């Protein structure tokens, strides 16, 4: 679970390591950093100018390569000033649809990128993860899926 760039990190970690994460959720995550100014700046500085190297850290790309077996939960405030230019949940939603990844993308009118948005929906995320952590069959399925890829 994470928020904004931390939400991006949560998604990338879970998509790259499905056997190690039984669930993943995010609040207003940057989901396609290869396509937005924040991502260009960060990836250019940390990973260099070769944009192909960036794809290993781009959730929208990763979900197309290896969708998870579980549902991904994302909450997004529609009053978020970063929504259209930086966050772009539409790109992740499209990538999930094309890859068959189950996604619960909840859009909330009158919420922005801040504390009250996260505080309002945090109990939902805790309940989401708690429910998945109590499914022992899913652990076996995720582990098997991960081993089959190697």
Known active-site residue 25: no
Known active-site residue 80: yes
pLDDT tens digits, one per residue of 48-105: 999 999 999 999 999 999 999 999 999 999 999 999 999 999 999 999 999 999 999 9
- Mean pLDDT, all residues of the chain: 91
Of the candidate ranges 66-80, 112-126, 133-147, the one whose mean pLDDT is the lowest: 133-147
- Which run of H or of E encompasses 115? helix 115-133
DSSP E strands: which ranges in 80-119? 103-108
Is pLDDT of 149 > 90?
no
Known active-site residue 99: no
Catalytic residue among 4, 23, 25, 34: 4
CA 10 to chain centre: 6
Which carries the bigger pLDDT value, residue 144 or residue 38?
A: 38
Cβ pair 88, 120 in contact under 8 A: no
Distance of alpha carbon 150 from alpha carbon 146, whole angstroms: 7
Catalytic residue among 58, 70, 75, 80: 80
Catalytic residue among 3, 8, 61, 113: 113
Query: What is the Rg, in whole angstroms, of the alpha carbon atoms belonging to the chain?
Result: 15
Which residue is it, tokens 């649809």?
97
Phi, psi of 71, rounded to the nearest 5 degrees:
-90, 140
When pLDDT is cut at 50, 70 and 90, the band that residue 136 belongs to is low
- In a 13 Å sphere around the CA of 24, the CA atoms on its Cβ side amount to 29
Distance of alpha carbon 138 from alpha carbon 144, whole angstroms: 10
- Which run of H or of E encompasses 141? helix 136-149
């Amino acid at each position: 679970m994470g928020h904004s760039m931390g939400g991006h990190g949560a998604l990338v970690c879970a998509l790259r390591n499905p056997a190690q994460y039984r669930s993943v959720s995010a609040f207003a995550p940057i989901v396609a950093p290869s396509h937005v100014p924040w991502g260009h700046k960060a990836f250019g500085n940390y990973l260099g100018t070769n944009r192909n190297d960036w794809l290993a850290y781009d959730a929208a790309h990763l979900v197309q390569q290896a969708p998870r077996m579980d549902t991904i939960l994302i909450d997004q405030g529609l009053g978020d000033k970063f929504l259209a230019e930086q966050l772009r949940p539409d790109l992740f939603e499209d990538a999930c649809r094309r890859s068959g990844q189950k996604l619960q993308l909840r859009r909330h009118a009158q919420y922005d990128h801040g504390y009250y948005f996260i505080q309002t929906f945090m109990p939902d995320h805790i309940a989401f993860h708690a429910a998945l952590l109590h499914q022992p069959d899913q652990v076996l399925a995720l582990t098997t899926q991960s081993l089959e890829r190697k």
